[in-house]
A and B are shown apart, each in its own frame.
Chain A
Amino acid sequence: QVQLKETGPDLVQLTQTLSITCTVSGFSLTTYNVHWVRQPPGKGLEWMGAMWNGGGTDYNSAFKSRLSISRDTSKSQVFLKMNSLQTDDTAKYFCAMLGLDYWGQGVMVTVSS
C-alpha cells in the first residue's frame, strides 16, 4: 500500500539548514507528484513546494530563495532542504500526495536559538 514517511531532526539551530527525507513506498516517484506542506504549531497549512513526477520542481515564492527539493528515484526518496532557518520555521513538516490524499505523519521541527 501507499506510504510516505518523513525523517529529519527534532531540533535545528537558528540560521542553520534543515534537511528532511520523505521515503515513499507503494508507488513510483516517476508516476506521482510529491508535495511538501508545513504547519506551525496552532496555525494553518502552508504549501512549500513539489517534486513533479517528471523530475521538475515547483516552489512557493515565499521560500524560493532558500528552499530546495530533490529526489533519488532509486531509493524512492524525496528531499527537502531549507537554509537560513528562523524561529518562525518551527513547524510540523509533511510530505504528501495531495491529489490522492496520502500523507506522511509529519516531522515536528523546532528551530532553536
Chain B
Amino acid sequence: DIVMTQSPFSLAVSEGEMVTINCKSSQSLLSSGNQKNYLAWYQQKPGQSPKLLIYYASTRQSGVPDRFIGSGSGTDFTLTISDVQAEDLADYYCLQHYSSPTFGAGTKLELK
C-alpha cells in the first residue's frame, strides 16, 4: 500500500498570508504511460463532504479560485494557498490514486 505522509498537522494563518501544505508518497505517483501524477487535493469544511480542489497534482478543478496551486511530481507534492481568505479555513487532504487510494492524514488550517 502507498503511504501518504502529509504535513503539517495544523497551520495557523492570518488572512492574506500564503500557506504551504506538503504530501510525500512512499512510491512514485507518476504514470509512465501518460506522464500524469495521480495525486489530488481536497478541502473539507465542518459538517460538509470533501470538495476536490486539484487533480493530477496541478490541475485546478472547475470553479476553484486560482489562489489554490498544486505542484510537485513523483513522490513530493505541495498545495499552496496564496492570499488566504477566511473562507479557506478548513481541513485539507491529499489523496493518491495511483494504486488503491490512500489519503494523507490531513492539515487543519486555522485563523491566527
Chain A residues with CB under 8 Å of chain B are 35, 37, 44-47, 50, 58-61, 94, 96, 98-99, 101, 103-106
A58 contacts across to B, CB distance below 8 A: 100
Would you call B52 an interface residue if the criterion is a C-beta within 8 Å of the partner chain's C-beta atoms?
yes
Task: Please give the number of chain B residues whose Cβ is less than 8 angstroms from any Cβ of chain A in the complex.
Answer: 21
Is B97's CB under 8 angstroms from A44's CB? no
A104 contacts across to B, CB distance below 8 A: 49
Would you call B70 an interface residue if the criterion is a C-beta within 8 Å of the partner chain's C-beta atoms?
no
Is A60's CB under 8 angstroms from B100's CB? yes
Bound state CA distance, A58 and B44, in angstroms?
Answer: 25
Is A47's CB under 8 angstroms from B49's CB? no
Is B100's CB under 8 angstroms from A99's CB? no
Is A101's CB under 8 angstroms from B1's CB? no
Which B82-112 residues have a C-beta within 8 angstroms of A? Answer: 91, 93, 95, 97, 100-106
Beta-carbon contacts of B39-61 to A below 8 Å, as 1s and 0s?
01010100001111001000001
Partner of A98, one of B44, B97, B105: B97
Is B49's CB under 8 angstroms from A45's CB? no
